[in-house]
Structure 1
């Protein structure tokens, strides 16, 4: 049983990917930088599609915006099928807290897996621009609270849902997901990672946060890239772990964090997704704090990463913000 926490602690934990609060917003003029948190980039037919938790003036209780670019430098948008939205409230599960989407292309359809109402759901579309709609307006997991979904499909066709369960901390779990993406195989539910290392909990809080998992496979080894600390902490950062099986056990990399304010000079940098560009180079799209004094609205950027042997290495000098031009 989850021990009873104070209201303050609950609010601290359950807002780890929270909606933006107007009191946090700076008064300074906006730039052209795209204001998205928990971003993901999906590449299809020569075009990059950028999605994320809405972090600017548009309420993130309304759905998901999408931006497009042909070169990762000049972005247009929001250009979603419904007033800039790829998915909007009413066509989907949930009515608040639309966070952390992921896009898949599977069997001639586009799938969006996302968080709403602190639960996880799937929507489909014929276009990356949407409209994405849910066939069933029910969450995939019907007990407890979970956020930050990521689907990994292995070479043998098995599908895995990595996600964060809100239980004595933001802890990363995995379970096999059925082929219809509507339910998990409950008997396979396994905890992967929790925040126990010093870099993962720099404020020594009672509710440690590990979240935003992305999983990939390289040379027969599974890699999980994840973020740690509360997103409002300037030490929010990115590390990784490896395993010989999608279900773990996971061994955290000794060189983590690989992306942090120490090597990028950006506060609150993390929670993104891996993508490969047109030249088949690996990148990580993520968010940062707005500036040194304000967390929100969070800004989207990209950084190059690569494999060096069996290690993942980031190139801090490659970091850049994403801008509408």
Structure 2
């Protein structure tokens, strides 16, 4: 009997999977490695996260992805897209946005960090037949490669409105534009008034736009501060239309000196058929000072009875299991 107990304890000590304790929360970060600007989406009964691979711009030329059936256990899908499949992109690929349409997966990204209209780069589109790729360049050129209304063509988010229209919302350098995407995502089409790019910049906006609908209201979120600074954070506004007008309400995600700094550039998950919400974002561990040393995390997001977003508590534990029914 004593020998059997000794063997049992030895198996547990060696990490035998038969005796491994079930993982109860995701933990933060959700994956090892430097990842930022996460785009979180639901495809079928799976959660997916598509982050920026955070490194020096010359090395930041590919994307990994992560999938989960329960928000707790995440599987890595390496190099779902890299610059070898996008001939015009040679550096600084970041901030994915992804949508499923007509059985295909469209992956929007920024590349080359262009500084003016004479440089080659901007916002591109890649396409694949499954969420884990491999993705290939869709247009053979950028979708948006110029500065309109002062907005650097980066940090794109694709918003599917309730009337079926797809919009691209994007912009760095403290300017945010919204534009109507053609139904096949091959270009931009004008609004009814003839305008192509409309500026919707709220007060405090820096970059990283995100939009969703809850209870008939449009929520617009963005990042403030400098991405390399401890003051990086997320604020939001509410309106009755994707055009706004957007009046800043306040911050809902920011540094916690006991947990991490530079919490920002996020996305949001709503579990289908529920009013459960999660915010997926990047932050910098307290042990790190290098700008690119960022990790992707997930925490709960809640609303009050008036529909305002409550300040998010960033955690080391992350979230509990939440499967899609």
TM-score by structure 2 length? 0.75
Instruction: State the Cα distance separating 1:133 from its structure 2 match.
Output: 1.1
1:60 and 1:98 in contact (8 A); partners too: no
Give runs of aligned pairs for residues 58-73 of structure 1, distance below 5 A.
60-73=59-72
1:152 aligns with 2:152: no
Bigger-Rg structure (1/2): 2
* 1:216 match: 212
1:54 and 1:64 in contact (8 A); partners too: yes
* 2:54 match: 55
1:130 aligns with 2:124: no
Instruction: State the Cα distance separating 1:217 from its structure 2 match.
Output: 1.4
* 1:274 match: 268
Instruction: State the Cα distance separating 1:34 from its structure 2 match.
Output: 4.2
2:268 and 2:277 in contact (8 A); partners too: yes
Residues 88, 108 of structure 1: alpha-carbon distance in 2 compared, 3 angstrom cutoff: same
**Whole-Å separation in 2 of the counterparts to 1:317 and 1:279:** 25
1:264 and 1:316 in contact (8 A); partners too: no
Task: From 85, 101, 104, give the equivalent of 2:99.
Answer: 104
**Whole-Å separation in 2 of the counterparts to 1:140 and 1:213:** 18
Query: For 1:87, what is the secondary structure of its paired residue?
Result: strand
* 1:6 match: none
Residues 320, 160 of structure 1: alpha-carbon distance in 2 compared, 3 angstrom cutoff: farther
2:256 and 2:314 in contact (8 A); partners too: no
**Whole-Å separation in 1 of the counterparts to 2:60 and 2:316:** 29
**Whole-Å separation in 2 of the counterparts to 1:130 and 1:31:** 21
2:61 and 2:93 in contact (8 A); partners too: yes
1:227 and 1:270 in contact (8 A); partners too: yes
Instruction: State the Cα distance separating 1:214 from its structure 2 match.
Output: 0.8
Higher strand share: 1
**Whole-Å separation in 2 of the counterparts to 1:264 and 1:126:** 43
Residues 36, 217 of structure 1: alpha-carbon distance in 2 compared, 3 angstrom cutoff: same
Instruction: State the Cα distance separating 1:107 from its structure 2 match.
Output: 1.2
Residues 142, 225 of structure 1: alpha-carbon distance in 2 compared, 3 angstrom cutoff: same
Q: CA RMSD in A?
A: 2.7
1:171 aligns with 2:175: yes
Task: From 232, 244, 251, give the equivalent of 1:248.
Answer: 244
TM-score by structure 1 length? 0.75
Residues 32, 218 of structure 1: alpha-carbon distance in 2 compared, 3 angstrom cutoff: closer
Q: Which structure 1 residue ranges, 5 or more long, are not aligned?
A: 1-29, 201-208
1:164 and 1:211 in contact (8 A); partners too: yes
Q: Deviations over 1:71-100 (max 9, x none)?
A: 2222232x2xxxx11111121251211100
Give runs of aligned pairs for residues 6-17 of structure 1, distance below 5 A.
none
Residues 39, 317 of structure 1: alpha-carbon distance in 2 compared, 3 angstrom cutoff: closer
Residues 161, 57 of structure 1: alpha-carbon distance in 2 compared, 3 angstrom cutoff: closer
Instruction: State the Cα distance separating 1:172 from its structure 2 match.
Output: 1.5
1:33 aligns with 2:32: yes
Q: Deviations over 1:233-255 (max 9, x none)?
A: 101001101222211211111xx
Q: Which structure 2 residue ranges, 5 or more long, are not aligned?
A: 1-28, 114-121, 320-325
| Further displaced range: 152-161 or 138-147 | 138-147
**Whole-Å separation in 1 of the counterparts to 2:102 and 2:288:** 46
